[in-house]
Homo-oligomer: A and B are copies of this chain.
């Protein structure tokens, strides 16, 4: 048995850029982006820290690659349906993916050059809009608008300190409301109370705004 094969047994498989990046994503999902260090990542892979630099030029490039894998996970707009359904599907998918990799959102601000999966995604979305009858310029507007909504929603969702409706109710009643004097924040109190009563569901909230935007974009199609 060669040393390479030994290593493969010891660490589940030989190293590769793919394996490094995938494990990095797992680590970031588990511990947050601050918990992702080259040493820890190497440890997870059963390797020395410097070995990683044979597959990734530096940590920045590793982060770029991680982001692009995230984009790969987002569904492309299906081609066989009307444009609104297609956009809704890909937006919903994007929200799900970003919610399961919250660190990705904070990373986008600092990373300026889009990866290949990102480009493929943009191309597919633009294609869908153009084929639906939007002009080049209105398609650009629609693109900015939809992406802004999706990213902004994911950003807000990521900064919520709870994940489930129960946690929300608990946190609101025990932490937030006591911090909000009703005379200074009457409307926030009212709104928090209503949300506790009505229940809290980010997926529903997301769909509401999304459908409102899609409906408002409909009249901009040239061939309507």
Query: Which residues of the other chain, B, contact A80 by a CB distance below 8 angstroms?
Result: none
Query: Which residues of the other chain, B, contact A109 by a CB distance below 8 angstroms?
Result: 102-103, 105-106, 155, 158-159
Query: Which residues of the other chain, B, contact A184 by a CB distance below 8 angstroms?
Result: 123
A191 touches B140 (CB 8 A): yes
Quick one: CB contact mask for A180-223 with B, threshold 8 Å, 1 for yes?
Answer: 10001111101100110010000001001100110111000000
Of A151, A152, A184, A185, chain B has the most CB atoms within 10 Å of the CB of A152
* Complex Cα–Cα for A185 and B194 (A): 47
* Complex Cα–Cα for A26 and B82 (A): 48
Q: Please name the residue on chain B nearest to A162 by beta carbon.
A: B112
Known: A185-B119, A191-B126, A216-B212. A148 touches B147 (CB 8 A): no
Q: How large is the interface on A (under 10, 10 to 19, 20 to 34, 35 or more residues)?
A: 35 or more
Known: A123-B187, A152-B150. A159 touches B108 (CB 8 A): yes
A32 at interface, CB cutoff 8 A:
yes
State the majority secondary structure of interface residues on A: helix
* Complex Cα–Cα for A190 and B131 (A): 13
Query: Which residues of the other chain, B, contact A198 by a CB distance below 8 angstroms?
Result: 137
Quick one: CB contact mask for A118-157 with B, threshold 8 Å, 1 for yes?
Answer: 0100110011001000001101110011011111110110
Q: Please name the residue on chain B nearest to A109 by beta carbon.
A: B106
Q: Shortest distance in angstroms between A60's beta carbon and chain B's nearest beta carbon?
A: 10
Q: Shortest distance in angstroms between A136's beta carbon and chain B's nearest beta carbon?
A: 4
* Complex Cα–Cα for A144 and B161 (A): 16
Contact of A216 among B34, B151, B213 (CB under 8 A): B213
5 of the cross-chain contacts (CB-CB < 8 Å) are: A33-B110, A106-B106, A123-B184, A123-B185, A127-B186
